[in-house]
C-alpha cells in the first residue's frame, strides 16, 4: 500500500464508504511492501511508533539503496541506517541524500530530522575506545528527537570521575552505560541513580575479554537493580529503547 492507495482508502473512510474498522484491518493485513529480497514494514510507524530501520551488514549496497528509495517514496521522509560501512556509504551517497557518521557507522537517508530535544538521555562510556558504540546510541536517540547528554571516559577505575558528574546523572530520565573490559560502569551508575539504566557491553578489550563476553556477563549479573542489557556493541538498540522510556508520559 503506497501513499496514493492510502490516501484513496482514507477518502473512502471520510465519505463513509468504508468503515473505520475495515480500514484498520486493511492496514493490518497489508503491513509490508514486498521487494522480493526484502519485505519492507512501511507501517511500523503506525504499529510501533517508529519507522523501519535498516541494518546494513549482510546486505549489498544495491539492496540497501532499493529499500531506502522505496521507503522514502512511500512512507517516510528519512531513514535510519546502522552498521553502514564507508564504502557502502559512498555508493549510497551517489544515489540519495545521505548524512554519514564514520565513527558510529550511522547513516541517515533523506532529510535529517531536526532534534526536538525531548527529555534527557545520558550516554556514558567507560573509556575513549567505547565512543563509536556510544555515538551509535546517541545519534539514534537524537534521530528520534531526544535530548542527549554525552559523558565519555568515566570508567570505574577512576570512580571520582563518575562521582564528579553525579549531578549530570541525577538529571537523566534514562542512562545508557557503555563499557568494555569488565563492564562495571553499569553497576556503579545503577547504584547512583533512580532512573532505568540500559547497559551496553562493548567488545573493547583483549584476551579474557573474549570479544565482549566479559562485559556482557558483568552487566547481566549487575548487583544494581535498575539495569537491563542489550547485545554487545548494540548502540542502536540502547538508543532505541532509551527513546521509548524517555518518552513515557511525555
203 part of the interface to a second copy, by CB under 8 A:
yes
CA distance 75 to 79: 10
Q: In which region does residue 153 sit, left (phi positive, over 0), alpha (psi from -120 to 50) or beta (all else)?
A: left
CB of 137 to a second copy, least distance (A): 12
Q: Which residue of 22, 73, 117, 158 would you call a contact of a second copy, by CB under 8 A?
A: 158
- Alpha-helical runs (H) found in the chain: 3-14, 20-29, 44-48, 61-74, 86-95, 131-143, 159-163, 166-170, 185-192, 213-220, 235-247
Q: Which is nearer to a second copy, 32 or 99 (CB)?
A: 32
Rounded Cα gap, residues 24 and 193, in angstroms: 42
Which stretch, 4-12, 90-98, 110-118, 206-214, contacts a second copy (CB under 8 A)?
206-214
- Interacting span for a second copy (CB under 8 A) from 69-77, 91-99, 108-116, 211-219: 211-219
What angle separates helix 20-29 from helix 3-14, to the nearest 10 degrees? 160
Q: Which of residues 28-67 bind a second copy (CB under 8 A)?
A: 28-32, 36-39, 41, 44, 47-50, 53, 55, 57-59, 63
Q: Binding to a second copy (CB under 8 A): which residues in 115-154?
A: 126-131, 152-154
Min CB(155)–a second copy separation in Å:
5
Residues numbered 79-108 forming contacts with a second copy, rule: CB under 8 A? 83
Amino acid at each position: 500500500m503506497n501513499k496514493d492507495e492510502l490516501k484513496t482508502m482514507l477518502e473512502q473512510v471520510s465519505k463513509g464508504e468504508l468503515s473505520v474498522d475495515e480500514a484498520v484491518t486493511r492496514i493490518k493485513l497489508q503491513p509490508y511492501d514486498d521487494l522480493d529480497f526484502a519485505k519492507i514494514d512501511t507501517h511500523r510507524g503506525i504499529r510501533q511508533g517508529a519507522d523501519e530501520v535498516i541494518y546494513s551488514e549482510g546486505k549489498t549496497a544495491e539492496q540497501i539503496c532499493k529499500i531506502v528509495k522505496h521507503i522514502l517514496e512511500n512512507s517516510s521522509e528519512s531513514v535510519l541506517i546502522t552498521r553502514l560501512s564507508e564504502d557502502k556509504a559512498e555508493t549510497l551517497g551517489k544515489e540519495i541524500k545521505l548524512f554519514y557518521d564514520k565513527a558510529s557507522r550511522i547513516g541517515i537517508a533523506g532529510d535529517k530530522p531536526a532534534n526536538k530535544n525531548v527529555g534527557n538521555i545520558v550516554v556514558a562510556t567507560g573509556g575513549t575506545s567505547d565512543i563509536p558504540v556510544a555515538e551509535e546510541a546517541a545519534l539514534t536517540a537524537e534521530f528520534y528527537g531526544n535530548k542527549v547528554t554525552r559523558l565519555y571516559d568515566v570508567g570505574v577505575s577512576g570512580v571520582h570521575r563518575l562521582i564528579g558528574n553525579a549531578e549530570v546523572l541525577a538529571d537523566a530520565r534514562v542512562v545508557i552505560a557503555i563499557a568494555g573490559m569488565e563492564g562495571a560502569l553499569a553497576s556503579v551508575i545503577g547504584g547512583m541513580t533512580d532512573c532505568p539504566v540500559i547497559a551496553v557491553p562493548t567488545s573493547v578489550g583483549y584476551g579474557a575479554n573474549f570479544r565482549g563476553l566479559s562485559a556482557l556477563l558483568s552487566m547481566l549479573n549487575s548487583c544494581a537493580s535498575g539495569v537491563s542489557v542489550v547485545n554487545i556493541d548494540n548502540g542502536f538498540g540502547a538508543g532505541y529503547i532509551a527513546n521509548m522510556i524517555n518518552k513515557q508520559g511525555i
